[in-house]
Chain A
Amino acid sequence: MAVITYRQALHDTLREEMLRDEDVFLIGEEIGVFEGSYKITAGLLKEFGEKRVRDTPIAEEGFVGAAVGAAMLGLRPVVELMTINFSLIALDQIVNHAAKIYGMFGGQTSVPMVLRTPGGGGQQLGATHSQNIELYYAFVPGLKVVAPSTPADAKALLLASIRDDDPVLFLENLSLYNTKGEVPDVVEPAEIGKAKVTREGTDITVIGYSRMAMVAQQVAEELHAEEGINAEVVDLRSLRPLDRQTIVDSVRKTGCAVVAEDDWLTYGIGAEIAASISDGAFDYLDAPVRRVAAAEVPLPYAKPLERAALPSAESLTTAIHQTLDAVGRRR
């Protein structure tokens, strides 16, 4: 068991999968000579050559579409989109083509492609480079959307995504790349569509994904150490398919829930989870489901403004306190 960064886990997995399967190749902007904007692909061009580590022009619709076409013929492209913000330029190829080709041709060909892309705010990148727009993709049947929060999960989910026969949007978060965690020597591919209870508890359920799953875990540990609150934490890991059952089972146990998400509140992923809890655990609820989400503004550049706009450990702690107060469970 080694302790490595999220970045290293992604890099190692790409390399191992390329060694394992000739059909796996990398394609994207600046992934070769530049070694990746976030250095996930460092050294891979040197090791595998231009055929398998393919630098592209700045033309997202063109190269994402080319990856879809190559995947239709059985190759396994792993696309790096420099940031999820640029995926909007390739939206037609992702939503109209990658997601639909298996269905609209009656299952005759699938699109075994992975779109790796970082998102998230907190780096003072301004409105167009700080978005959490995973919802746009999680909305679409035919796509799979995964969002690992730990190095071990990054590896398990990337293995699963590369070996999956469908298009998978693999969501990374800029603030996670340098986080460290234990990764077993042998990692099995994760089961896409399964959430994980990362902390067992009885007082309240806290649900998050990607960065906010990490924040939820930290907050839960702190609340336990400092106040004796025993929170259960659910890391969604997969936004489509969504594991409603694990969420509902947890809320049936604890009787209340807070959802933590980096995206905007209105119509957000938290809204879907709150609705699922209402559908599956209404009779068990002792308080309304609270949602912690980003302020509904284009994310500002100035540091104090950006900090105020994003959910944090503090805002999540406040929401948990408020919910526990409402059910009279705060000690």
Chain B
Amino acid sequence: MAQTATRSKPSTRSTAKRRSSGVRGSNRGRFTGESPELLQDYFREMTLIRRFEERAAQGYTQAKIGGYCHLNLGEEATVVGLMRALRKTDLLFTNYREHGYAIAKGIEPGRVMAELYGRTTGTSKGWGGSMHMFDVESGLLGGYGIVGGQIPLATGAALAIDYRSGDQVVMCQMGDGTTNIGAFHEALNIAALWNLPVVFVVVNNQLGMGTTVDKSSAEPELFKRAAAYKMPGERVDGNDVLAVRDAATRLVEQARNGGGPALLECVSERLKGHSVVDPAKYRSEESVAKAKAADPVLAFRAQLIEAGVLDEDSAAEIERQAQAEADAAVAFADDSPHPDPSTLFDYTYATPVANDSRRLPADPVF
């Protein structure tokens, strides 16, 4: 990776009292004030997402999953930390890399896997696939496949909350490449002008597909872009679940209390390619080794054991359960029905209209 160590090292803005990396031997006292149950729960969820994504990758190579498949491998601490800052009623808009977010926002893993399998039991009844999951009940208002497309939508959802004087907050997740899209700037400007309750989160894994952040962003410290819109901008270590949770919670609650929008940058590492089919040949061995060394799931496991929150047996038990849950999700997806072709025209229009064409490819027009 072309990026320098200084650049990829997170600023200490929001982690001043917290170490920004999981260096072994220095974690005693790190979890002071944290409930052991909660910490175990974070580890459980991060592990579940890891196992789920491994099964998703497998399903893809078995051709059970089609299309594109962008995994959260290496970003589990960011995913879980962000979702723990939200209430169930808060709303989330994400990009196409959203399986982990769907699970952490409260959707049954089986329904997430079923969507990947294109089954009727999936989060979008098989209409969306990997990039387009949706669930009103858990507040996931969609994964979006067009880079930056979700940002104006999230701003509009925040506008609706403000319009009705609601107390929900919208979180809008995106990748580092998104910050160069016009929609990013237009939507942040509007959100700030109207003081809307939305927190924009850039997951900076330092690669927009194969292009490093310093090759695509004139200012690669992306949180600084917030200054142009007079909103708070913070950078946090995306491999540190507690640091992410704390920064996100602060910004979310600020937005909830009328403080307006904010921009949070979580610096992360991608363990694999952009998508399942991307062998990531553009990455140096050094970059991959660095990502592996920073693996947030393994690092958190080690920290919890060192701090006495977990022992080897209980960690292994959590991992066994996560594997069983991921396997169950696959079984659920496998057992679920494919959509019936007779439902093809069910979701074109919400208000039925006269003369809506329901012609199949071989049908005559008249």
B-binding residues in A (CB < 8 A): 25, 51, 56-57, 59, 61-75, 92-93, 96-97, 101-110, 112, 141-142, 144, 164-166, 191-194, 238, 241-245, 248, 275-276, 279-280
Residues in chain A near residue B142, CB distance under 8 A: 101, 105
Residues in chain B near residue A73, CB distance under 8 A: 156-157, 160-161
B residues 81-131 touching A (CB-CB < 8 Å): 93, 122, 124-128
Residue pairs across A and B with Cβ atoms less than 8 A apart, 29 shown, are: A25-B163, A56-B190, A57-B190, A59-B189, A62-B183, A66-B153, A67-B156, A69-B93, A69-B160, A73-B160, A102-B347, A104-B124, A104-B128, A105-B128, A107-B347, A108-B135, A110-B350, A110-B351, A141-B348, A141-B357, A144-B353, A166-B350, A166-B353, A192-B354, A193-B353, A194-B355, A241-B354, A242-B355, A244-B365
Docked complex Cα distance between A72 and B93 (Å): 12
Mark B142-186 against chain A: 1 for CB-CB distance below 8 A, else 0: 101010010111111111110100000000000000000011001
Q: Does B356 contact A64, Cβ atoms closer than 8 Å?
A: no
Residues in chain A near residue B149, CB distance under 8 A: 65, 92-93, 96-97
Name 11 extra pairs, CB < 8 A, besides A69-B156, A105-B124, A241-B354. A59-B186, A65-B187, A66-B152, A68-B153, A96-B149, A102-B347, A105-B142, A166-B350, A166-B353, A193-B353, A241-B355
Q: Does B366 contact A102, Cβ atoms closer than 8 Å?
A: no
Q: Does B190 contact A62, Cβ atoms closer than 8 Å?
A: yes
Mark B7-20 against chain A: 1 for CB-CB distance below 8 A, else 0: 00000000000000
Give the nearest-CB partner of A141 in chain B: B348
Residues in chain B near residue A66, CB distance under 8 A: 152-153, 155-156, 159, 187, 190
- B52: CB under 8 A from chain A? no
Give the nearest-CB partner of A144 in chain B: B353
Docked complex Cα distance between A102 and B134 (Å): 11
Docked complex Cα distance between A54 and B306 (Å): 56
Q: Does B189 contact A57, Cβ atoms closer than 8 Å?
A: yes
- B341: CB under 8 A from chain A? no
Q: Does A106 contact B124, Cβ atoms closer than 8 Å?
A: yes
Select A108's contact among B124, B155, B157, B351, beta carbons within 8 Å. B124
Q: Does A193 contact B354, Cβ atoms closer than 8 Å?
A: yes
Q: Does A102 contact B349, Cβ atoms closer than 8 Å?
A: yes
4 tightest A-B contacts by CB? A65-B152, A69-B156, A62-B186, A106-B125
Docked complex Cα distance between A61 and B157 (Å): 15
B residues 299-357 touching A (CB-CB < 8 Å): 346-351, 353-357
Looking at the assembled complex, report how far the CB atom of B142 sits from the nearest CB atom of chain A, in whole angstroms: 6
Number of interface residues of B (CB under 8 A): 49
Residues in chain A near residue B350, CB distance under 8 A: 102, 107, 110, 112, 165-166
Give the nearest-CB partner of B187 in chain A: A62
> Given A69-B153, A102-B347, A106-B128, are A193 and B160 neighbors across the interface (CB < 8 Å)?
no
Give the nearest-CB partner of B91 in chain A: A73
- B272: CB under 8 A from chain A? no
Select A243's contact among B346, B347, B354, beta carbons within 8 Å. B354
> Given A69-B155, A104-B128, are A109 and B160 neighbors across the interface (CB < 8 Å)?
no
Give the nearest-CB partner of A96 in chain B: B146
Residues in chain A near residue B136, CB distance under 8 A: 108-109
Q: Does A68 contact B156, Cβ atoms closer than 8 Å?
A: yes
Docked complex Cα distance between A36 and B153 (Å): 24
- B222: CB under 8 A from chain A? no
**A25, A56, A59, A142 interface centre (most CB from chain B within 10 Å):** A59
- B29: CB under 8 A from chain A? no
Q: Does A92 contact B146, Cβ atoms closer than 8 Å?
A: yes
Looking at the assembled complex, report how far the CB atom of B102 sits from the nearest CB atom of chain A, in whole angstroms: 12
- B141: CB under 8 A from chain A? yes
- B2: CB under 8 A from chain A? no
Docked complex Cα distance between A69 and B149 (Å): 11
Residues in chain B near residue A108, CB distance under 8 A: 124, 134-136
Q: Does A61 contact B347, Cβ atoms closer than 8 Å?
A: no
- B277: CB under 8 A from chain A? no
**A59, A63, A65 interface centre (most CB from chain B within 10 Å):** A65
Docked complex Cα distance between A193 and B358 (Å): 14
- B361: CB under 8 A from chain A? no
Q: Does A243 contact B128, Cβ atoms closer than 8 Å?
A: no
